[in-house]
A and B are shown apart, each in its own frame.
Chain A
Amino acid sequence: MEAAVVRYHRPDYIETDTGNKVCRKSAIFGSQNIVLGGKTIIQNNVVVRGDLRRAGAGHAVAIAIGKFCNLCPGVIVRPPYKTYKGVFSDHVLIEEGSIVEAASIGSYVHIGKDCIIGRFVMIKDCVRILDGAVVPPNTVIPPFSIVGGNLATVVGEWTDAAQEVMEDVTTRFYNQGFVG
């Protein structure tokens, strides 16, 4: 019901002006190509590959993450392809050990533990991906789906209150559940 309070070692985290909390023990590559929307938490051992983009001058956004997102320990985020960026919207929770190469993830998305989200996957808003799901490349996941299984299929319909639930979970975790 209630996620246990996570206590973090404050010196290990960098807090930006917009309230992002980024762990120093995470591997953020190509940080000039990464956008964080604010109040987003990146925990330890997270890998964000902003460097995977087409070589050349100038900087292009490789990974854009919205507000109140939470990347749990061990999450790996890569852009889907050289010329594409991975876009995460707001209130996205990605649990431990998941690998995400999605082209876009909508708001209020909950990705469970040890998931693999293939290239160019488009996850719409209000989607729950169960633990251990392997979402094949190019899949489009419509809103209010529960997706699970190795070779993930839609296994159910998420509640109509998904937006409220995810808003509650992510904002509460940022404000109360993640204290240092």
Chain B
Amino acid sequence: MFLEAPFVAYQCHCAGTSIAPAGGRPKQRAREHDDDDAGDTDHDETLQPPPSVPAQALALHPIESLLFCAECKELRCSDCVAEEISCYYCPNCMFEVPSASVKAERARHGAVAQRLCCGRNCFSCPLCTSVLSVVAGSSADGQDVGAAGSGSSIPGLGAMSSGSSIYYLSCPTCRWDSQDSGIRFDRPTGLAAQLAKIDVDTPQMLEFEHLREHYDKIARMFRQPAGAGSALGSLGSSPFLSTSSFAASVLLEPSLRLSRNKPDKKVTPYEPIAKGPSREIDQVAEAMAVPLEDLTTLEQRLRQADGMVPLKISDLRPQRVALRTKRGKRCLACEHIIVKPEPKASSIRFSVKMVAFDRVPRIRIGPDLPPSPLVVGDPFTVTLRVVNPSSNRVVVALDYQPPDPATCSVVFSQRIVDLAPVVDSWDIQEAPTATPNIPDDDDNINPDETPAASPSVALLPESITPALVGANETFVLATVTPTAAHAPIQLPIRMICTMYKKASANSSPSSSKPSAEEGSEAQEPEPHEKPIGSISFWAVVGLGTSGATPFVLDLTTAVPDDIEYAASDAADAADTAMLIDEDVRDADIQSNQQATGTDAPVS
């Protein structure tokens, strides 16, 4: 999956490990209270993340498309779930086709994978695939009566006024109508049945009937008491099986001959009644005779579901609208239901819906986006928001592991974030968000930067006012310095999330104060608050692709002033290596604002 530059993608576990059979996984994992230290690798085996850093972009998914299995406590992509159909419906008339009639349809057409279509009045245009509407016209002179505009899509509107009328299908988009193909209807309802009746006379239908009679005769000839005829009987009566059933019946003939080689019963070879152009050269000649604008396109021919290959547009027939399904999803590993939609066509409710979007914490980039050309050696700060969508309190440890050939060096403002449960989205405006969850200090990374209780607010870009920060989200500032030229700058971060029991009403999210002690995060909650589970997964934050080094630019082109500045800035950054001092950061934030914030807020 290709993802555009600033993205956050998540790795489904199926990419790292093969899915274990049901029940094959250890149920209890990560019960430790003190798994706050991101660098501590002792717990990694119990958390069983995919072992390697997620590198292949194919395995990465946006959070929206991932599901979450609560039983396995893992993310699931669409490849590691089994789907089961919960209902069939017509996408046009939203009519739910009962599964009994779907089964009957299947049985009628044998085992051939036939497209299931709406059996009511839904047809699509053979030229442009838009939905056809039924219009009424008078039968006398073929002049349209009620077909004025697309507004008259109500069937039978014209029939009210004129006594005897005919109906036909008309395309409101390309103005094709079924009279072009000589298809008219007597009644405006039950068109599918009427069309089937019209189709009786088509060469395909006649040929099929003829073929059927022929082999019926042969089958009767060789019929054993038990069931030679059953092979043919299963072919059913549909003419639209032409390829496979015809092949089956052709195969039938020599086998019959072989098995019962009786001299008195002679099998006559099949004589087709259709006298169409048989040779390809004739077909070419016929096609050449047709004016170009009357020829069908390849797509139009392929869309004809009944196996006809019409050369001329006038031979095209309206197509029935194929049914659509609603499908539930089941985890392949534990076979629990992850998604179960309500079996109503137009309903968007689910009786079970375990999507990752509202179950697991996620990272968002912004509002300050990374600069679009990433300059090697030029540090920039990007704001990562860690959001907790669940109703549990979650402590997330962000475990950054540089990819093997390191493309950048990163300093995070904090690595462990404590996220309050989500508040009702309707109350965001009204409820004053107590105290915003300002970034806590993480001492093992930036020990020098912790002078006061809430210093990080000062570090936040101006565009983020504390009022805009929900209690269930936290900012993490990542200062990234690209080190490799022409390389995608991606930050693989393992998110180790420990969930705590649903917060009671009186414990406000701000009650847990950030403490400077390392490893005290997990002891903060009240004694009764125990972790109820832990999940870990990889997230990859893609910031873009680094350009050439400024030095290379220097050789080839005239160096603009700002690039020179960037180079000197980069030299500064290289000196301070991992510890970025306040000045550089402030300068960086300011330059960042100058770059991104084009228009200042108007008060």
> Which chain A residues have a beta carbon within 8 Å of chain B's beta carbons?
1-5, 7, 9-10, 19, 81, 106-108, 118-120, 124-126, 136-145, 151, 153-154, 159-165, 167-168, 171, 175-177, 179-180
Contacts and interface: CB of A to CB of B under 8 A. Distances in A.
A107 B140 CA distance: 47
Contacts of A142: 89, 91, 94, 324, 345-346
Given A125-B348, A161-B356, A120 B131 contact: no
B379 to A, nearest CB: 21
Given A137-B173, A161-B353, 13 more contacts: A3-B366, A4-B366, A7-B602, A9-B602, A10-B602, A107-B348, A145-B91, A151-B128, A161-B357, A164-B357, A168-B357, A177-B367, A180-B601
B425 interface: yes
A159 B64 contact: yes
Contacts of B172: 118, 136-138
A151 B173 contact: yes
B429 interface: yes
B364 A2 contact: yes
B173 A1 contact: no
B331 interface: no
B49 to A, nearest CB: 23
B599 interface: yes
Contacts of A108: 348
Contacts of B270: none
Interface of B: 6-8, 64-65, 67, 89, 91-94, 128-131, 133, 150-151, 153, 172-173, 324, 329, 339, 341, 345-348, 350, 353, 355-358, 364-367, 369, 385, 389, 425, 428-429, 463, 468, 596, 599, 601-602
Contact of A175 (B64, B92, B366, B428): B428
B366 A120 contact: no
A161 B355 contact: yes
A2 B365 contact: yes
Most buried by A among B341, B345, B346: B346
18 contacts: A3-B366, A81-B151, A107-B348, A126-B348, A136-B131, A138-B131, A138-B150, A140-B92, A140-B131, A151-B129, A154-B91, A159-B65, A164-B389, A165-B64, A165-B357, A171-B425, A179-B468, A180-B602
Contacts of B7: 1
Nearest to B363: A1
Given A108-B348, A136-B130, A140-B131, A120 B91 contact: no
A139 B153 contact: no
A106 B345 CA distance: 14
Contacts of A171: 425, 428
Contacts of B129: 151, 153
Given A142-B324, A163-B348, A164-B355, A1 B366 contact: yes
B429 A175 contact: yes
Given A138-B133, A159-B64, A160-B67, A2 B369 contact: yes
B366 A2 contact: yes
Contacts of B357: 161, 164-165, 168
Nearest to A163: B348
A92 to B, nearest CB: 14
Contacts of B601: 7, 179-180
A86 to B, nearest CB: 15
A161 B345 CA distance: 17
A136 B173 contact: yes
Contacts of A2: 6, 364-367, 369, 385
A160 B601 CA distance: 37
Contacts of A3: 366
A12 to B, nearest CB: 10
